[in-house]
Structure 1
Amino acid sequence: MNVPVWVWVATLVALVAVLAVDLLIIGRRPHEPSMKEAGTWVGFYVGLAVLFGAGVWATAGGQYAGEFYTGWLTEYSLSVDNLFVFVIIMARFAVPRHLQQKVLLIGIVLALLMRGAFIAAGAALITQFSWVFYIFGAFLVYTAITLVKGGENDEDDFKENLLIRWAKRALPISSSFGDGRFSVVTETGKRLFTPMLIVMIAIGTTDLIFALDSIPAIFGITKEPYLVFTANVFALMGLRQLFFLLGGLLQRLVYLNIGLAVVLAFIGVKLFLEALHTNTLSFLNDGHGFHWAPEIPIWLSLLVILGTLGIATAASLIKSSRDRKKELIGSGN
């Protein structure tokens, strides 16, 4: 896929413009959006992604469009899991509702920056060293096993890391979020950091962990840096509004981790098979590819990912509904 420089520039300008509008809305009027407002924005961003994929289809063909849609769907699913951890962080640190939009937007911008850096590094690696797919594949399978061991989503999914514990212990922290700034000056002239700084450290380190998962996953679907980048950006757009649109539904997706584990394991195996097929390591088959290793087509990847996430969502909602009924029966209502 040959993407001219002007297309890269135009895409970056357009995406930055959309994000800038989002930033201006947050900066001028922090608020909790209504269901209608949140739904409109989510629909707008999803529509943009669909239209972009159609544009890829029209200009580069169905193969690349399929890679974009599959990559976008995978990254969107991982981003929803990232969003769930954001919910836990904001609940853990009791972030006021009117400041949660600001936290979400900063978290999304940090995720974009980190994923952009990892995309650049990943693209350089796979260009020079095809064997890196062995590492990517093994890492995704390991991540899938970790997700399965973690079981259902709960607040134990987030644990304060070393950096957060150090910040809470070493920095002078105020008891109030105030107007959402990172620091305040007391009446005595002493500068204190607000809990917002600790929240941002937690959000940033979480973004870093999810970037480590998401980049190998998307490179397991497409090797085109342009598609990798745009799929990630579109997957992160609208997450702020999606948080308020879904509300309590996020906590009902109890099998989301299991579904994501299956998706990541599938992509990990796909990467490993591809690494075998194009093998260049001299100590394996004298540096020749293993022709028996099948290449999984993009349409099959899309079906597996869609089917797995659909089953995980349906099973989650059924389980949550049954659990609520049991609670109502147990309480005598």
Structure 2
Amino acid sequence: MPGPTIADVARAAEVSTATVSHALNGTGRIGEGTRRRVREVAAGLGYGTRRGPRTRTLGLAVTTFAGTAWDFVTIAYFSRFITAATSAAHARGYALTTLPAERCAEGLWHTLAVDGMLLVDSPAGDPVPGALRARGLPLVFDGRPPEPRPGDVWVDNDHAGTTREVLDHLAAAGARRPALHSGHGREHYTGAVVAAYRQWCAERGVAEVVVPFGPEDGPGHAFDAAFGAAPRDRPDAVYCAYDPGGRQVLAAAARHGLGVPGDLLVVCTSEDPAYGATEPPVTTVTLRPEAAGAEAVAALVALIESGRAGGPAGAGARMVPAALRVRASSLRPVMY
């Protein structure tokens, strides 16, 4: 038999379905007494509890930019993560359902028929974890949650260490004024990279240059001010934190007459093999999404089959080492 719906809880608590959603998600401007009463009614009705046999289905959602119709599967990281997660789920006898980004802002979290969820790049203020926790569903994050709770499990890379490795590599190749191309998302990855870049610059007395990333900025106009500066003030290297950034900086450098790597060194975080065939080939950082996807599914299935939604056992980070793939874009040409 199907369990109670959010409408059933609203009728029993004599509030609107919107109030129920806010109460269960920990969002909205409602009184603490109302929030507590709604949660008590929901618990009394058995709302969100699993009924009958398991579905042997895992859910996956990318909740960064939730509610917008962006096709995250076209980004190589997400595509590879999902493929690896699907394979790992099937190997354990589970199906994997991937939700479109535009549906991540809807209230389907209250009734989604899955045994557990993988949340990828959950941003600050994300209401989805609260909704899933209210149902008691096991939950694993890809990317450290902005405000982890005791018992949370996540898979991630050492973004601070990787950022420092990239900047040290650029400095060893002769860069003295590296810029960072970042700052678009509110997930942990972006914040960790920006913070590490700023700390590295402060330690070396280097002026910060953070160029704002725009997903639709194909020509790289965000670089116009920096690349149009006097040579002594112009960045001589760029670390792009997002997949399309490498193509954007190459386009901007060409428009400004800057040679790569002669005038400008470039590194980009990306899983796209096409960067190995650009002119010049672009040095990339891989976050190893295949390893992350397999690790996340293993952690989630372990939570499901242990009967826990979370807890001290297995809680915390499962770290996947990133790797730097050095190509011509970050190596100064040898002068004879």
* TM-score, length-scaled by structure 2: 0.28
Rg: which structure is higher?
A: 2
Considering fraction of residues, name the structure with more helix: 1
Considering fraction of residues, name the structure with more strand: 2
* TM-score, length-scaled by structure 1: 0.28
- Larger RCO (CA within 8 A; separation ≥ 6): 1
